Structure 1
Amino acid sequence: MVEEYGPAWRPGPFERGKDGPQLILAGVDGSPSALRAGAYAAGLARRQRSRLVVVYVLSPSVWTGMSPSLIGAAQEEAYGDMIAELRRPIADWVKEAHVNVTFEVRRGDAFTELKRVAIDRRADLVVVGASESTGHRLVGSVANRLVRAGLWPVTVVP
């Protein structure tokens, strides 16, 4: 699913010595740090006259495959609620920052899908929120994996 919000994007006038990002990708998951990352990315997109792509990745639970009718329906409803809830801050970012925002929803592993969108859209910068899970210290968070991929600058917002 891909949705467009806000004014049409046009590159700003050329400025000597300013060669900022043309496209900023923000990964959001509904957590407070991810919403702060989205707000930070929107402000940066406004200041740099960049396009903003906000990506939410649906990561189905392993239990979904075991009981697709019961758990799958509940999980799809929860995903629908989360997508509807994410549209609210995106509309606020468009209103406050006057930036062009593309909202994209993907399914799969968060790292893999964020990486795929960043490569496909040729992102100049990736912005994500810091992980709030203690287990990620052992396994590695999505933010950590994006930084280690070394394909673009990554800003991790606390």
Structure 2
Amino acid sequence: MTEQHSRQPAQGFERGTDGPKVILVGVDGSDTSMRAAAYAGGLARRQNALLAVVYVQPVMAAGAALGAPVADATDGIAEDLVAEIRDAARRVRGIFDVRWEFHTFRGDPYNGLVKAAEELKADAVVVGASEQAGHRLIGSVAVRLVKAGRWPVTVVP
């Protein structure tokens, strides 16, 4: 006796069906975030996924109220990060090709990455481990993302 099984096509968007389509990596210019970007780039290349590189611009209302050019400073950081990523992609072109996009969101890092992951329909999130000692006590962005349990999260040391 032979059994035949037919599979019904999935209706609408479903995460995790054929491997990741979008891998999100949070970058802020720190060494750990740049290692996370390199790791995520390798994952994206092997999975033929889109690498969504996300920088979350901090909103510092107190500094802005005092007239500090906060937006200009964080825009400069974003521009530097894009330039660094473009340079790295240019150096490995033809050897290590990966589709990537750069996105900037505003807010605190955790909420900015959550918003980015939701809007970009990320299948996985990669972040660098916190370099701040205090985060061992109160929790880092990485720990908060893992505890949220909404996406597979890889924390790169």
Asked if the contact 2:29/2:81 (under 8 Å) is kept, the reply is: yes
User: Could you state the TM-score of these two structures normalised by the residue count of structure 1?
Assistant: 0.80
| Cα distance in 2 between the residues matched to 1:92 and 1:41 | 17
Comparing 91-100 with 51-60, greater Cα deviation is found at 91-100
Residue 33 of structure 1 aligns to a residue whose secondary structure is helix
Percent identity between matched residues is 48
Give the secondary structure class of the aligned counterpart of 2:51. strand
Structure 2 gaps of 5+ residues are 1-16
Whether the aligned pair in 1 keeps the contact of 2:105 and 2:116 (CA below 8 Å) is: no
Structure 2 match to 1:31: 30
SS in structure 1 opposite 2:142? helix
The offset of 1:38, in angstroms, is 0.6
1:116 is aligned to 115
2:58 is aligned with 1:80: no
Does residue 51 of the first structure (1) align with residue 50 of the second (2)? yes
Q: Could you say which residue in structure 1 is the equivalent of 2:59?
A: 60
Gaps of 5+ in 1: 1-17
- Please list the CA deviations of residues 88-143 of structure 1 after superposition, one character each: whole Å capped at 9, or x if unmatched: 33214433231111100111111111111112222111000000011111221000
Deviation at 1:22, TM superposition (A): 1.0
Contact 2:59 2:107 in 1 (8 A): yes
Alpha-carbon distance in 2 for matches of 1:81, 1:123: 26
SS of 2:113's partner is helix
Root-mean-square deviation over aligned CA pairs: 1.7
TM-score w.r.t. length of structure 2: 0.80
Max Rg structure: 2
Counterpart Cα distance in 1 of 2:138 and 2:58: 17
Contact 2:54–2:102 (Cα < 8 Å) also in 1? yes
Give 1:44 deviation, angstroms: 1.1
Kept in 2: contact 1:39–1:93 (CA 8 A):
no
SS in 2 for 1:122: coil
User: How many residues are matched?
Assistant: 137
Whichever residue aligns with residue 79 of structure 1, its letter is T
